[in-house]
A and B are shown apart, each in its own frame.
Chain A
Amino acid sequence: ETGVTQSPTHLIKTRGQQVTLRCSSQSGHNTVSWYQQALGQGPQFIFQYYREEENGRGNFPPRFSGLQFPNYSSELNVNALELDDSALYLCASSLRAPGTNYGYTFGSGTRLTVV
């Protein structure tokens, strides 16, 4: 539907474990951002990557980390999972560089449940 693919769609993990979420952006989309959306809330910015380098970070602890690859794919890694990490994780990409007036294309998200 949107050209941004996230995997897996659903995931259940145990507290303390580590998880890797993946995102495949459209070709040419050099900017990718990750968001966390708790139930009933708006998305919260985790961090952004531009041309494989972190380009900004929201109010999330260091156990949230990411990578962006040359093939326009990216990863979100979360270590030492906590129950409050249960949320929908959204990847968003843009053709334009950060700081431009341009909308983002979002993936359908990964629903993470921590038990």
Chain B
Amino acid sequence: SQQGEEDPQALSIQEGENATMNCSYKTSINNLQWYRQNSGRGLVHLILIRSNEREKHSGRLRVTLDTSKKSSSLLITASRAADTASYFCATGRLNQAGTALIFGKGTTLSVSS
């Protein structure tokens, strides 16, 4: 079963525009991570935000986390064609044997020039 759900499922924008993707999850978490996947290849870790953090930045990426609403958002500013990919949120839980990342179904982002 999948923990998170990304919204929207697909997003098409022009280069230079901002892209916002949302993620909702169901159970308590200790961290939430965002990954990018190009054309069905391996996933690339983008950013991790701990449950006691509300916002985190990395380059053109901004992630927010609202644990009361069990939701997170990923903002990519000034999008480029190279940002075209699928983006997944994944929740991690600590203090459990075999901590696993639980992924959502992803948002497919298409950036056209």
Mask of A24-39 contacts with B, CB within 8 angstroms, 1/0: 0000000001010101
User: In this complex, what residue of B is CB-closest to A33?
Assistant: B100
Q: Is residue A61 within 8 Å, beta carbon to beta carbon, of the partner chain?
A: no
Interface centre among A33, A39, A55, A103 (most CB of B within 10 A): A103
- Chain A interface residue count: which class? 35 or more
Mask of A86-115 contacts with B, CB within 8 angstroms, 1/0: 001010100000111111111111010000
- Chain B interface residue count: which class? 20 to 34
Interface centre among A43, A58, A99, A111 (most CB of B within 10 A): A43
Q: Is residue A47 within 8 Å, beta carbon to beta carbon, of the partner chain?
A: yes
The answer, among A40, A54, A101, A106, for a CB contact under 8 Å with B43, is A106
Q: Could you say which residues of chain A place their CB within 8 Å of the CB of B100? A: 33, 45, 48, 56, 58
Question: Roughly how many angstroms separate A102 CA and B99 CA in the complex, as a whole number?
Answer: 11
The answer to whether B48 and A103 have CB atoms under 8 Å apart is yes
Q: Smallest CB–CB gap between B23 and chain A, Å?
A: 11
User: In this complex, what residue of A is CB-closest to B4?
Assistant: A42
Q: Smallest CB–CB gap between B87 and chain A, Å?
A: 11
The answer to whether A101 and B48 have CB atoms under 8 Å apart is yes
Give residues 53-97 of A contacting B (CB, 8 Å).
54-59, 88, 90, 92
Question: Roughly how many angstroms separate A98 CA and B41 CA in the complex, as a whole number?
Answer: 24
The answer to whether A109 and B42 have CB atoms under 8 Å apart is yes
Given A43-B101, A98-B97, A101-B50, 8 extra CB contacts under 8 A: A37-B40, A41-B2, A88-B40, A90-B43, A98-B99, A99-B94, A104-B101, A108-B41
User: Could you list 23 A-B pairs, sorted by A, with CB under 8 Å?
Assistant: A1-B42, A2-B42, A2-B44, A33-B100, A35-B101, A37-B40, A41-B105, A42-B2, A42-B90, A42-B106, A43-B88, A43-B103, A45-B101, A55-B97, A59-B1, A98-B98, A103-B48, A104-B45, A106-B35, A106-B42, A106-B44, A106-B45, A108-B42
